[in-house]
Amino acid sequence: MYSIRRNWFLTLDLLLLSLLVTSMQAESSELEKIVLSGSNVTLQISESLPENATSVTWLYTIKQKIVEYEKSRPPKYFDSAFKDRVKLDLQNAALHIYPVRKGDNGTYYLRVIKDAIKQWKISLKVLDPVPMPIINIEKIEESDGNCYLKLSCVVEDPFVDYLWYKDSGPFPMELQRSTLEVTVTPHNQSKSYTCQVSNLLSSKNNTLYFTPPCTLARSTGVTWMTNWLLVMVPTILVLLI
């Protein structure tokens, strides 16, 4: 008797699960949005929502509810990391996040219930603006009018792309990495070497200036000019007085 009842409950559970899967329409293809941290972001699907939906819910991952709206009731914002940073647009169900943070990376779900359940996924990738790179001179070796130059581009972000270029334009692709090693001859001399770091949404660069072939002149990132002015300006004023 117990075995019969147990099998009956198991069959009922499977039937209910089957009905739920059948009622949930297939998810649309996953959308992806890439933004800079600190910006205001709107998550929105491109297709029209079902008219007169009874419930609209935004979730972060499949478990954490952000906001839920039921017809004729005000939106309910849940106690989460998004509280006081989100707003639901009741016209098109768009979710506004302001400002977005690096920790907001992940998958968001828009779930709409009318006669059936329909769900969309949006992948959000949040990138920090790239910081200003620092160029370090690791080695300069001169011989017979030529020199070997080794420069390293240092930036506090492991997920950036590097682009080195000189007066005449970018170096070949095989040299595009964090460290630039080049032999300078009278035929390929340059008065400047620039390292540009970038991600999908932002970029920064720094430049070293040389007197050919390899004598350092100045850098856009150094402070020697500021220090020189701090010393010379008071001196000049004293002389003028």
pLDDT digits (tens, 9 = 90+) for 69-116: 998 899 999 999 999 999 999 989 999 999 999 999 999 999 999 888
Residue with tokens 């970029």: 203
Q: Which pLDDT score, from 0 to 100, does residue 240 have?
A: 53
The span from the first CA to the last CA of the chain, in angstroms, equals 111
- Residue 4 pLDDT greater than 50, yes or no: no
In the three-class reduction of DSSP (H, G, I as helix; E, B as strand; rest coil), residue 62 is classed as: coil
pLDDT digits (tens, 9 = 90+) for 105-151: 999 999 999 888 999 999 999 999 999 999 999 999 998 889 999 99
Task: Tell me the pLDDT of the chain averaged across its residues.
Answer: 83
Q: What's the rounded Cα separation, in Å, for the pair 163 and 177?
A: 7
Q: What's the rounded Cα separation, in Å, for the pair 183 and 212?
A: 12
